[in-house]
A and B are shown apart, each in its own frame.
Chain A
Amino acid sequence: MASTSEPFDHSRRPASKTEQPTPAAVRRPSRRRAKDTAHPDVRSNDRPDVILVGCGTLALESFVPALRTLQQAGSLHVRAIVDPDENSRDSCRRTLPDALPLSSLDAAVAPPDTLVIIATPARFHAAQTNAALKRGWHVLCANPFATTAREGALMIASAQRHERLLAVDLTPRFFPAARYLRTLCQDHLLGPPINFRIHEGTTRRIPEGALPASEKFESPDGVLTELGLPVLDLLTWCLGRASVISYSDDAMGGVEANAFIELSFSENARGTIHLSRDWPTEQACTFVFERGIVRWDTTHPGGLTFQLGSAPSAVHGELVAPLSLRQIPSTDPLLATPTHAMVAELQNTLGAITRRETLRVPATEAMHSLALVEECYARRASLLQPWLPRNEAVQARAFSPPVALRRS
């Protein structure tokens, strides 16, 4: 059971089952200097060095604002930004002007224990991660960190061999509301969880100035990977091991834009996930516990709505610091923007590199949701699209590819 007196002090809380460090994931990074990183011009200073690989939408929206915050605070130094496309590099350099722009990671020079952040499409992750690990650098990889569970296992093994850290970007785990939900689920503060319902539907925003690197569009991952992976990670983090009851999507020879998943968990909790990227839905998680209901609007990482038992009304509020009889209660909301969460994630990763703290999202943790995605595709059924004329509905089912052809 987690301590209830310090619900947000993660470092003092005993690790729960889903957080148990595994040898592959959180082995202390070695102090040894990697041979091939020796370079006369490269000296470590007090601030950890960071290399950002990939300057597309993900980098611009997620990593760059947090890197700027931490660099301005003197907590790190962004040594280089890497992207084959000059326009993309320029977009990042507007925020990180001191970083050396490079077209290839091979051209980067940095001391051992540098953190390489990989924010490229998933199909590049394995090669880029392995290249960084070989040079004695640690890696924080965007999610999904691998295209398959098998590839992920090989990447983890590579990190073990090189005695480097391999972390995965799962910022939702750093949201105060997500941490609160997890505590409720794990410690049964409202009784055991019974069921849940999650809607995650959004059309992607395009940051200003972000241009495609190529005019030839390459099919992205489907919505299950793009929006579903973080949801599946949240659920396995909160509820433990999961089984897929059913999975259906609307792919018709390509990749899905809508998906529905039914899951069950080891404590008998079960529920549904609705994912869409062609129509914005409410973005919310609702958990039903034995003695109450909790709803989290996932666009608001620091707030929750509670229905406690048969209480006559629900309560909606911001999460603040824990109450104590000895202190004046704080009414300041916990810092809870996506950038705050990313800052916390980067701080944790850098802290783990310097052995000050335990890595909170090692790649082994991300393997659970990756395996669930594969299980979903293995059990795939075709979604009924009830607005289609009859002839088109028949054709839609015929178009659905064999499962084995997907994510190959």
Chain B
Amino acid sequence: MKVALIGAGGFVGARIIESFQLGEGPSLTAIGRHPAELTSAARFAIDTRVADFLNVESLARSFTGCSVVVHAAGGAPADLKRGATVLCRAATLAGVRRIVYLSSADVHGLCPPVGTDEKSALHPRHVDETHHALVQAERQLFTEARQFGLATFALRPALVYGPRSKVIAQLASALRKERAGLIQNGDGICNCVYIDNLVAAVRLTLRAKTGAGAAFLIADKETLTWREFFHAAASEFSSSAGSILSLGEVPADSSPSAADEAPAPLALPPDLIARQRCTWKLPIARAAQELGYEPPVPFAEAMRRSFAWWRFAQGEFSVAA
């Protein structure tokens, strides 16, 4: 099996390449929109291609020799839905029969209601245009895939963190400045997934015998609060958990600057405020049952690896023995 990976330059794509190349395959063709997106992939001696993700012929050419496509690319909201159409048509043109599409658990909203699972209706009123586009893209993907008879799996990862992730970089930066903040005492549920657990789910989906045409929520095994997530990060960062600011309650629809008129030590991004209000742990039962998904990396180890990368990225390095 040879896998075409769209979005090789993103942090998920880069880790898929790293894991497949250093683990037990399969072999890859890494595809980017531009050579600059392939600099991380180019650390390995693998096939790399440049393609226009919105052009059927261009994308189909880049799939040559591949039997499966993993789509891990982001994009502008306006391009996501069209990109799903192009993906299916290019796969059909190139003879690819299986697509693994990385969607997002955000299609259920940033603060999914209690009881949410894959069968729940997708969230219709997103504030962010990108989240609307994710919903539309996933629907378009399945519509097109049915039309062309493609075995298609949509993975809906929770908030992905790990090496090279903005989640870790922003949290480390906030901890360094003593401006990491929690609302509601950090009691909200942190729906997150370590990047290697997501990669494990991708790997399983490549060969899954059941589950085609379905979506799968992918998250870490542990049920964590945001307080536990932040405190674990502070511990890895060698920062005092006491430096994490408790912001109390923040109005649901407030702008960051208006969130706390009384001493406002920092402004949390609106999406983080919404996520921190969550009271529901997204289930991974369907992925476990259909794909055999069992997150291989426990949370503590995931945090250790994440901050090991962070120190590396800050210039702390050592040479392999």
Binding site for B on A (CB under 8 A): 57, 197, 199, 201, 203-206, 210-212, 214-220, 223, 246, 248, 250-258, 260, 272, 274, 276-279, 281, 381-389, 391-393, 395-397, 399
Q: Once the chains bind, are A217 and B44 in contact (CB under 8 Å)?
A: no
Is residue B288 contacting chain A, with contact meaning CB distance below 8 A? no
Q: Once the chains bind, are B14 and A215 in contact (CB under 8 Å)?
A: no
In the complex with contacts A204-B36, A206-B34, A384-B320, A215-B45 CB distance below 8 A: no
Interface residues of B in 31-48 (CB under 8 A from A): 32, 34-36, 38-46, 48
Q: Which of A248, A279, A389, A393 contacts B313 (CB 8 A)?
A: A279
Using Cβ atoms and an 8 Å threshold, which residues of chain A touch B312? 258, 385-387
Using Cβ atoms and an 8 Å threshold, which residues of chain B touch A252? 21-22, 43-44
Q: Once the chains bind, are B39 and A248 in contact (CB under 8 Å)?
A: no
Q: Once the chains bind, are A389 and B42 in contact (CB under 8 Å)?
A: no
**Bitwise interface map of B from 287 to 321 toward A, beta carbon under 8 Å scored 1, else 0:** 00000000001000000011011011111011110
Find the residue from A199, A278, A393 having the highest chain B CB count within 10 A: A278
Is residue B82 contacting chain A, with contact meaning CB distance below 8 A? no
In the complex with contacts A206-B36, A252-B44, A278-B164 CB distance below 8 A: yes
Q: Once the chains bind, are A384 and B319 in contact (CB under 8 Å)?
A: yes
Find the residue from A216, A217, A258, A278 having the highest chain B CB count within 10 A: A217
Q: How many residues does chain B have at the interface if contact means C-beta atoms less than 8 Å apart?
A: 44
Q: Once the chains bind, are B317 and A384 in contact (CB under 8 Å)?
A: yes
Q: Once the chains bind, are A392 and B164 in contact (CB under 8 Å)?
A: no
Using Cβ atoms and an 8 Å threshold, which residues of chain A touch B309? 385-387
Q: Once the chains bind, are A278 and B42 in contact (CB under 8 Å)?
A: no
Using Cβ atoms and an 8 Å threshold, which residues of chain B touch A396? 22, 320
Is residue B163 contacting chain A, with contact meaning CB distance below 8 A? yes
Using Cβ atoms and an 8 Å threshold, which residues of chain B touch A197? 315
Q: Once the chains bind, are B23 and A392 in contact (CB under 8 Å)?
A: yes
- CB nearest to A388 among chain B residues: B22
Least Cβ–Cβ distance between A88 and chain B, in angstroms: 13
Q: Which of B23, B51, B163, B314 contacts A281 (CB 8 A)?
A: B314
- CB nearest to A385 among chain B residues: B312
Q: Once the chains bind, are A381 and B319 in contact (CB under 8 Å)?
A: yes
Q: Which 9 A-B pairs have the closest CB atoms?
A: A253-B45, A392-B22, A386-B308, A387-B309, A204-B36, A387-B305, A274-B315, A382-B320, A395-B22
Other A-B pairs beyond A215-B58, A388-B305, 6, CB < 8 Å: A383-B319, A386-B309, A392-B18, A395-B22, A396-B22, A396-B320
Q: Once the chains bind, are B317 and A254 in contact (CB under 8 Å)?
A: no
Give the docked Cα–Cα distance between A212 and B309 (Å): 31
Q: Once the chains bind, are A256 and B319 in contact (CB under 8 Å)?
A: no
Give the docked Cα–Cα distance between A201 and B164 (Å): 13
Find the residue from A211, A215, A387 having the highest chain B CB count within 10 A: A387
Give the docked Cα–Cα distance between A163 and B149 (Å): 67
Q: Once the chains bind, are B49 and A216 in contact (CB under 8 Å)?
A: yes
Q: Once the chains bind, are B320 and A397 in contact (CB under 8 Å)?
A: yes
Give the docked Cα–Cα distance between A17 and B307 (Å): 45
Least Cβ–Cβ distance between A42 and chain B, in angstroms: 36
Total residue contacts A-B, CB cutoff 8 A: 132
22 pairs from A and B in contact (CB 8 Å cutoff): A199-B315, A212-B34, A212-B35, A215-B62, A217-B49, A217-B50, A219-B48, A253-B45, A254-B41, A254-B43, A255-B43, A257-B39, A277-B39, A279-B313, A281-B313, A382-B320, A384-B317, A386-B318, A388-B18, A388-B22, A392-B22, A396-B320
Is residue B138 contacting chain A, with contact meaning CB distance below 8 A? no
Is residue B19 contacting chain A, with contact meaning CB distance below 8 A? yes
Interface residues of B in 76-100 (CB under 8 A from A): none
Give the docked Cα–Cα distance between A323 and B236 (Å): 50
**Bitwise interface map of B from 45 to 81 toward A, beta carbon under 8 Å scored 1, else 0:** 1101111000000100110000000000000000000
Using Cβ atoms and an 8 Å threshold, which residues of chain B touch A206? 34, 36
- CB nearest to B302 among chain A residues: A387
Find the residue from B38, B319, B320 having the highest chain A CB count within 10 A: B320
Least Cβ–Cβ distance between B169 and chain A, in angstroms: 8
Give the docked Cα–Cα distance between A279 and B169 (Å): 10
Q: Once the chains bind, are A381 and B22 in contact (CB under 8 Å)?
A: no
Least Cβ–Cβ distance between B106 and chain A, in angstroms: 24
Least Cβ–Cβ distance between B29 and chain A, in angstroms: 10
Least Cβ–Cβ distance between A288 and chain B, in angstroms: 16
Q: Once the chains bind, are A387 and B48 in contact (CB under 8 Å)?
A: no
- CB nearest to A204 among chain B residues: B36
Is residue B117 contacting chain A, with contact meaning CB distance below 8 A? no
- CB nearest to B169 among chain A residues: A279
Give the docked Cα–Cα distance between A234 and B42 (Å): 27
Using Cβ atoms and an 8 Å threshold, which residues of chain A touch B220? none
Give the docked Cα–Cα distance between A258 and B317 (Å): 10
**Bitwise interface map of B from 180 to 203 toward A, beta carbon under 8 Å scored 1, else 0:** 000000000000000010000000
Least Cβ–Cβ distance between A89 and chain B, in angstroms: 18
Using Cβ atoms and an 8 Å threshold, which residues of chain A touch B35? 212, 217-218, 220
Least Cβ–Cβ distance between A99 and chain B, in angstroms: 25
Q: Once the chains bind, are A399 and B50 in contact (CB under 8 Å)?
A: no
Find the residue from A258, A272, A382, A388 having the highest chain B CB count within 10 A: A388
- CB nearest to A400 among chain B residues: B320
Give the docked Cα–Cα distance between A251 and B306 (Å): 20
Give the docked Cα–Cα distance between A246 and B319 (Å): 10
Using Cβ atoms and an 8 Å threshold, which residues of chain A touch B163? 387
Q: Once the chains bind, are B317 and A257 in contact (CB under 8 Å)?
A: no
